[in-house]
Amino acid sequence: MTKVSFFDRRVIESFLKITSIISAALSLLVLFVDIPAARKATYGWIFIGALALIYLAIWIWSNNLNKIDINIEGSEVTIKVGDIFSEPGLKAIAFNEYFDTVVDNKIIAESSLNGIFVQKHLSEPLSELDRHIDNYSFEASEKLEINSERSLGKKLRYQIGTICVYKEFLLAAFTKFDKDNKAVLTMPEYLEFLINFWDKVNNVYAQQSVSTPVFGSGITRIKGHKTISDEDLLKIMLWTFRISEMRFKYPAKLTIVIHKDKIDKINLLDIKSARNGV
């Protein structure tokens, strides 16, 4: 299934821009070069064939687009396929509202970004990360309550959107957990997280570039929105970034990293063509 239709308006517009340049160049060329009458038909068909190949190439490129750069209210934003751990600057990692660190496929899945961070990207023992979180200077309003009835994991619950800076990582309290330790969010809570997150990033980024995943992609159950797509989540992220006070000063920028297995579900051409990405 293709993301961009064969006769998409933007594909046609790109094609017409290229053909106008080619036509102008050929018009100048024929002023100085005579084409033998016997070969005009052959050259004509070659030209038509070349145009068809150009159109096909533009259409294929549009469907396989895996990186775009947009500007949102003066901030440079890159959306790309890649590995967030390879990005420069600060990297956001989504934790749950308890900042749990045990990867057991119950609280944290090994295959999740959170699990990969804990298992493969810690240069110190896990106990050092736990100690760092416990001793971090959170605001009083970010610590909500002690859930003494929770049998697995930590018991102190934090406000979603809360950030703990750990080396080059922004650990973010993202998902709420139910009594069965399943990640659950409503759409208002998802919006609350993003608005709080951009506000906290604005306070801690120190003019460094920041990279984030598409929050909620593939792991979070958003109540009442079973059919919400990764592209919808990405657009919501861009919209909340636009209405927030968060702005990156050059050369710092925001990079949203898409997992390679998810890009087939996201039409970057749509996002690039829209004002402010939404």
Q: What is the residue extent of each domain of the chain?
A: 9-63, 67-277
Alpha-helical (H) ranges within 227-276 are 230-243, 268-273
Res 13: pLDDT: 86
Please tell me the class of the 67-277 domain. alpha beta
Res 139: pLDDT: 93
The CA–CA distances, whole Å, from 93 to 59, 107, 121, 235 equal: 35, 15, 11, 19
156: phi then psi, degrees, rounded to nearest 5: -80, 120
The DSSP code for 105 is: S
Res 221: pLDDT: 63
Per-residue model confidence as pLDDT tens for the chain (278 residues): 567 788 887 888 888 888 888 888 878 877 777 777 777 788 788 888 988 999 898 888 888 888 999 999 999 999 999 999 999 999 999 999 999 999 988 888 898 999 999 999 998 999 999 999 999 999 999 999 998 888 888 999 999 999 999 999 999 999 888 777 777 888 899 999 999 999 999 999 989 999 999 998 866 567 766 678 889 999 999 999 999 988 998 889 999 999 988 888 888 888 888 765 56
